[in-house]
């Protein structure tokens, strides 16, 4: 089930379902080394999404700005290696979307609990916008806000459920996007939680 949301944005419904347990087992190992934390924005706000990373680079935010860094600021150590199951899934999905050379060096892991939202933004901290971002939704459903190239463009609402994978590339790579507050609920594997794995080629 492939659905083009817009040019360059391909939704692969349920693409990760068959691998969900393997992905969540690998996630547990990553989080044991680099626990979820609430980052502070450059403006001084605490993000409601809790984040961690794996791979050579991790996305971090603090009062000094946003950046990719090889070191987890909480531990002073490198981020955990990207699990093989993560990399394989991301590259398989990218290939379905026509991106045959996608080699993600960063996986940002977002944890949403009921009430958590992600306000409208663009992903612009990566070097090469020709490379897509691949995102994997696990656990509770979300309503994704899929906007345009201007902040003021009215976003459409895309429901994303457990196992859905989206490749955001081409002319959709720089669209504004966000996530509405997650509704209360219980997922059999994750409980009251949504996880989104976002695979990026940052460097
Ligand atoms: C999420 N995460 O559901 C989303 C999935 C983030 C973030 O937005 O920055 O961590 S990635 C969604 C995305 C990435 C790049 C482009 C577009 C969407 N887009 O054109 O809509 O936690
Ligand atoms: Fe984003």
Tell me, what's the pLDDT at 7? Answer: 97
Q: What percent of the chain has pLDDT over 70?
A: 100
- Asked whether the beta carbons of 12 and 165 are under 8 A apart, the reply is yes
Tell me, what's the pLDDT at 114? Answer: 98
Residues contacting residue 145 through CB under 8 Å, at least 6 positions apart: 120, 155, 156, 157, 158, 176, 177, 178, 179, 180
178 C-alpha to ligand 2 centroid (Å)? 7
pLDDT of residue 6 exceeding 90: yes
Mean per-residue pLDDT of the chain: 98
Report the pLDDT averaged over residues 143-170.
Answer: 98
Read off the pLDDT band of 97 (50, 70, 90). Answer: very high
* ipTM rounded to 2 decimals: 0.99
Report the pLDDT averaged over residues 124-150.
Answer: 98
pLDDT of residue 1 exceeding 90: no
pLDDT of residue 167 exceeding 90: yes
Q: Within 13 A of 111's CA, how many CA atoms are on the CB side?
A: 17
Report the pLDDT averaged over residues 153-159.
Answer: 98
Tell me, what's the pLDDT at 113? Answer: 98
Number of domains in the chain: 1
11 C-alpha to ligand 1 centroid (Å)? 12
Does residue 86's CB lie within 6 angstroms of at least one atom of ligand 1?
A: no
- Give the CATH number for residue 149: 2.60.120.590
Query: Each residue of 124-136: pLDDT tens digit?
Result: 999 999 999 999 9
Does residue 196's CB lie within 6 angstroms of at least one atom of ligand 1?
A: yes
Does residue 164's CB lie within 6 angstroms of at least one atom of ligand 1?
A: no
Q: Which residues surround ligand 2, an ion (CB under 5 A)?
A: 123
Report the pLDDT averaged over residues 153-177.
Answer: 98
Query: Each residue of 33-81: pLDDT tens digit?
Result: 999 999 999 999 999 999 999 999 999 999 999 999 999 999 999 999 9
By residue range, what is the domain housing residue 81? Answer: 2-200
């Amino acid at each position: 089930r492939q659905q083009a949301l817009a040019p360059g944005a391909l939704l692969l419904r349920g693409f990760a379902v068959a691998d969900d347990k393997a992905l969540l087992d690998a996630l547990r190992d990553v989080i044991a080394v680099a626990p979820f934390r609430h980052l502070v924005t450059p403006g001084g706000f605490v993000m409601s999404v809790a984040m961690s990373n794996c791979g050579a680079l991790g996305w971090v935010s603090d009062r000094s700005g946003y950046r990719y860094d090889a070191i987890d600021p909480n531990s002073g150590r490198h981020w955990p290696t990207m699990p093989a199951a993560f990399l394989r899934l991301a590259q398989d999905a990218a290939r379905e979307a026509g991106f045959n050379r996608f080699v993600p060096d960063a996986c940002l892991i977002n944890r949403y609990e009921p009430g958590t939202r992600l306000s409208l933004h663009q992903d612009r901290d990566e070097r090469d916008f020709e490379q897509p971002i691949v995102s994997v939704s696990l656990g509770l459903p979300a309503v994704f806000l899929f906007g345009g190239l201007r902040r003021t463009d009215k976003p459409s609402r895309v429901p994303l459920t457990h196992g859905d994978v989206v490749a955001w590339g081409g002319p959709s790579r720089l669209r504004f996007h966000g996530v509405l507050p997650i509704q209360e609920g219980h997922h059999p594997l994750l409980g009251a939680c949504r996880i989104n794995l976002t695979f990026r080629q940052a460097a």
